[in-house]
Structures are given as structure tokens and as C-alpha cells.
């Protein structure tokens, strides 16, 4: 079992809230979820992009919610803590024996399965920003996109940061049943400033 001594146990149960570990809570104006890969190594452009995004969100006073492990999630946490911001990790019980939560997290919320994890990631958020990643990242993006398509997204904004997303959106529009109204539910941007402006300006 991976030790969790870094975090003070706050609440644990079998219900949908899962287990929580906290180091303190500040007053945050906005809560933003960030989707990204756990496998992206330091030195990768997307790692640097995630750290820049974390700094920018932290400077805006946003609480940042992420997957809670390494890669893009770790880089994001580094950026948030560079500016003394607050970052929450939403981890998965599947990995309890093999992965430790990132030590920079202020709060860890565990979930028993993927659907509950995504619910915890989105809990209380006004927007979600996705960086280029793998299948897990795509799952999170399509999950929220589907909620938005059916009017269940709670007015959140889904923001896709990076050039790779434009290629994917073009493919989906050409080869799949993704028409203009569905495409309009997501915001594809190329800079951190654009992403943060959209996320922190989103209505609750």
C-alpha cells in the first residue's frame, strides 16, 4: 500500500464522496478542473505548458482540480504552488497500491471508479481545461462534452488548450457526426492566457 502520511485524513466513506485528505482550505473565487496525462515527462512541451497553466490559474486565485499524480498533473501542481495557489488531486482507488498522490497537493479526494473520479474532478468547477494527453484525457473530455451536449454540464466551459486539439476537432467534424452546434460546445485555444481568461470568466 502506498503511504499517505503526507496528508491529514479528513473524511472517508463508502459513498460517492470517497476518501479525502486535506492540508487546509482557502477562499477561492473560482474552481477549475484540468485534464491531462500522467505519463508526460519533464522537458516535454506539454509538461512546460501545464506548469505555465498552473501558475496562471494560481495567480488568478483559482482552485485547481486535477488527477493528482505525475506528468501533466504534477507539472500543473508545481505551477500552482510556485505562486502559492491551491491544488486538489482527484485520485483513483485502482492505483492505491502502485501510485502515490503528488506531495504538492493541498487536498486529495479518492474515487472508486472512473465515473466517480470525473464527478469529483468537476465538483464545484466553473470550467475544465484539457491539455493534450492519452486515452484517459480523451475520456474526460468526451465525458464533459457529452454532458454539455445534453444540457447537463452546469454551464461549464470546456476549453481545449494546444494545437493538437484543432486537428482532432477537424477530424471529428469531417468523419464523425459532430456538427457545428456540437462543435460549438467546446473552445479550442492555443495560449494559456486565452484558456485562463475563458475559465476564470465562466459563469457559475
> How is 178-195 classified by DSSP, letter by letter?
--HHHHTTEEEESSHHHH
Give yes or no for residue 14 having a pLDDT over 90: no
Q: Please report the sign of the dihedral spanned by the C-alpha atoms of residue 39, residue 102, residue 28, residue 118.
A: positive
The stretch 24-36 carries a mean pLDDT of 74
Q: Which of 3.40.50.2300, 3.40.50.12370, 3.40.50.450, 3.40.980.10 would CATH assign to domain 30-200?
A: 3.40.50.450
pLDDT per position as a tens digit, 136-192: 999 999 999 999 999 999 989 999 999 999 999 999 999 999 999 999 999 999 999
Reduce the DSSP state of residue 67 to 3 states and report it: coil
What band does 23 get if pLDDT is binned at 50, 70 and 90? very low
**pLDDT, tens only, 125-145:** 999 999 999 999 999 999 999
Give the burial class of 31: count Cβ atoms within 10 A of its Cβ; 0-12 exposed, 13-18 middle, 19 or more buried: buried
Question: From CA 32, how far away is CA 167, in angstroms rounded?
Answer: 24
Whether pLDDT at 5 is above 70: no
pLDDT of 48 reads 98
Task: Tell me which of 2-11, 34-43, 46-55, 189-198 is least confident.
Answer: 2-11
Write down the domain spans for the chain: 30-200
75-90 residue pLDDT tens:
999 999 999 999 999 9
What's the pLDDT at 202?
A: 57
pLDDT of residue 17: 40
Q: What is the predicted pLDDT for the residue at 201?
A: 85
| 33 touches 58 (CB < 8 A) | no
- Over residues 29-54, the mean pLDDT reads 96
Gap between the Cα atoms of 188 and 15, Å rounded: 35
Amino acid at each position: 500500500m502506498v503511504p499517505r502520511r503526507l496528508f491529514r485524513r479528513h473524511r472517508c466513506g463508502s459513498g460517492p464522496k470517497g476518501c479525502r485528505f486535506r492540508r487546509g482550505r482557502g477562499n477561492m473565487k473560482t474552481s477549475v478542473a484540468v485534464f491531462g496525462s500522467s505519463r508526460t515527462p519533464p522537458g516535454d512541451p506539454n509538461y512546460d505548458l501545464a506548469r505555465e497553466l498552473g501558475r496562471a490559474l494560481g495567480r488568478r486565485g483559482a482552485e485547481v482540480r486535477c488527477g493528482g499524480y505525475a506528468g501533466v498533473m504534477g507539472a500543473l501542481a508545481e505551477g500552482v504552488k510556485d505562486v502559492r495557489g491551491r491544488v486538489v488531486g482527484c485520485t483513483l482507488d485502482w492505483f492505491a497500491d502502485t501510485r502515490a498522490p503528488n506531495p504538492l497537493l493541498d487536498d486529495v479526494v479518492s474515487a472508486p471508479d472512473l465515473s466517480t473520479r470525473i464527478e469529483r474532478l468537476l465538483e464545484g468547477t466553473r470550467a475544465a481545461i484539457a491539455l493534450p494527453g492519452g486515452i484517459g484525457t480523451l475520456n474526460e473530455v468526451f465525458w464533459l462534452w457529452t454532458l454539455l451536449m445534453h444540457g447537463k454540464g452546469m454551464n461549464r466551459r470546456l476549453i481545449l488548450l494546444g494545437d493538437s486539439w484543432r486537428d482532432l476537432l477537424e477530424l471529428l467534424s469531417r468523419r464523425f457526426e459532430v456538427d457545428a452546434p456540437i462543435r460549438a460546445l467546446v473552445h479550442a485555444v492555443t495560449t494559456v492566457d486565452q484558456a485562463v481568461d475563458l475559465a476564470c470568466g465562466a459563469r457559475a
